[in-house]
Each structure stands twice: as structure tokens, then as C-alpha cells.
Amino acid sequence: MGLLALLRFEWTKMTGRRITWVPFLMLALIVTLVVTVFYKVEFKMQRKLFDTAAFSFKDKNEFVNGYFMTAHAMNPIFQMLIPIFVAVASGLMLAGEAEHGTLRACLIRPVTRRRLILSKFVMLSGYSFAMSAFVIGLLATAGILNFGTGNLYTLNIFFNNGQDGASMVPAAEMPMRLGLAAVIATLGMMVLSALALLISALVDTAAMAYVITLSVYFAVLTLRTFPFLDWLYPYLFVTHMHRWQQCFYSHVRTGEILVSAVHLVAYAFVFLAAAVLLFEERDIKT
């Protein structure tokens, strides 16, 4: 079976699952909720913090715009929700098919296990980018329609690894910054997909695969909350997964982004190589 034929086969299976489309519906509902919240909240605490950073705002309308909403909503969505959606999709790709007995039928075809798992990784990468682009595009569109455009003001403590002060990004740069953030976020989700495939190669059920994957992800994420472990931060894959936040600094930190991109590619390669090796040795009984 050729690679393109195998990708079409995986695409048909993925799009045929109703659960594949649930995250897009959930993200659309969340964007609606975010718009409602931004109308209601006065952002008094943010105004006080901006005052300490030499940005004085008398009213939230002076800094709350579509880009502000998009950037600040990305933090919980890309740290909490999209990793859950990616982990579930990844678990269904391998362990889920083994659980339902379809994986053995796939391997009867003239295709190597290595090519099969690589095709699944490619589809998961595309799925991750689709979700990232969808939610960023929807947030930006809804935010601009409801709050207009303008310069982006952010507090560095929320976006730049605990640094003090605030940043201002000109409105003209924001489309490019958002596109770059989508690409970096997708690289991070690719690492999570590779980790999920690795775990799926070890377990027999989809539920076990994504529960373990998310447990590992949130456990590593929790390590970043302990200041005395700051020496460990550069070695944690979640540190580099969230490097998209640097896109909302006053200037794009190209060097740090490139270093994180190299780390993410390396993590994805190691996880995927381990998944292939384990999958090739696995005995598919059903």
C-alpha cells in the first residue's frame, strides 16, 4: 500500500468518527463563552497591574480588543483543552483500534507497522494544526467583530515565563504573530501526539492510553509550578510546547523560539521512534 493510499485510509477512518468533530464544536462553544465573559468582566486587576508597568488605562475599552481576547483566551485553551483533545484522538488511533479489533485487519494489508504508525502521526499532526488554526481564527474573528482591533497589551508574567513588566505589540503585527503562534503550538501538539502513540503501543484500550498520556502531561506541567525546580524547566517538553507565548512579547524572541522548535522536533523524534520500535514488537491478538 502506497503512502498516499495509506494516508487516505487513515483520513477516512478519522473523519468517519463522530468524536473527531466534537472538539471543534466544543471550541466554538467556548469561544462564545469567552466573548460573553469579556463583555461582563471589567479587568480591574489587570488595570492595576498595567499601572505598575507604566501603562495607565482608565477603562477596559482602552486595551480590551479582539487581539487581547484572542491572546488571553489561548492560554487556558492551549494548556488545558487542546492537549486533552489531541490525547483522546491519539489514543483512538492505535490503542482504540487494537481494542476494537480493527488494527489486526489493518496489518493484514501489505503495509509495514512502521509506515502505519507514521501515517497515523502525520494525520494527528494535521489534526492538531487544524484545531490550532480553527480556534485561533475563530477567536480572532469573534474578538474583532465584538471588540474591534488595536495594539495588544499583555502582562509578561502571564506569557513570558514569569518575567516582570508588560508588552505592547502593534496591531499591524498581530496577524503574523497569531500565525506563528499557531505553528509553534502545533509543534507542541505533535510532541504530545508522539507521546500518546508511544503509550498506545504499550496499552490495550483507548481510555488507558489517553488517561496515561494526560497524566504524564499534567504531571510534567505541574513541575513548572515549583520555583525551586527552575533548573529543570529547560529539559521539560511542556516548557517548549508553550513557547508560542513568546509571540506576544514586545518583540519576537526568534532565538528562543528556534531553540524550542529544535527541542520539540527532537522530543517528537524520540517518542515516535520508541513508539515504532515497541509497536513492531507488539503481538496483536485481536
Could you tell me the pLDDT band of residue 107, with boundaries at 50, 70 and 90?
Answer: low
pLDDT tens digits along 43-53: 888 888 888 87
Q: What is the pLDDT of residue 3?
A: 75
Q: Considering the chain, what is the average pLDDT of its residues?
A: 88
Q: What is the pLDDT of residue 105?
A: 64
> How far apart, in whole angstroms, are the C-alpha atoms of residue 158 and residue 241?
15
Q: What percent of the chain has pLDDT over 70?
A: 92
Backbone φ and ψ for 223, nearest 5 degrees, come out as -60, -25
* DSSP conformational letter for 251: S
One-letter amino acid identity for 143? G
* DSSP conformational letter for 232: G
The residue-averaged pLDDT of 128-153 equals 94
Q: What is the pLDDT of residue 10?
A: 80
Are 198 and 75 in contact, with CB atoms under 8 Å apart? no
C-alpha torsion 130→132→135→140, nearest 10: -110
Q: What is the pLDDT of residue 51?
A: 83
pTM, entire model = 0.88
One-letter amino acid identity for 178? L
Which residues contact residue 68 at a Cβ distance below 8 angstroms, ignoring those fewer than 6 apart? 143, 147, 150, 152, 153, 154
> How far apart, in whole angstroms, are the C-alpha atoms of residue 245 and residue 75?
8
Q: How many CA atoms lie within 13 A of 182 on its CB side?
A: 22
pLDDT tens digits along 244-272: 998 998 888 888 899 999 999 999 999 99
Q: What is the pLDDT of residue 285?
A: 57
Q: Among 2-16, 79-93, 138-152, 180-194, which stretch is predicted with the lowest mean pLDDT?
A: 2-16
The rounded radius of gyration (Å) of the Cα atoms in the chain is 20
Closest C-alpha among 206, 187, 205, 166 to residue 269: 187
Q: How many residues does the chain have?
A: 286
pLDDT at 161 over 60: no
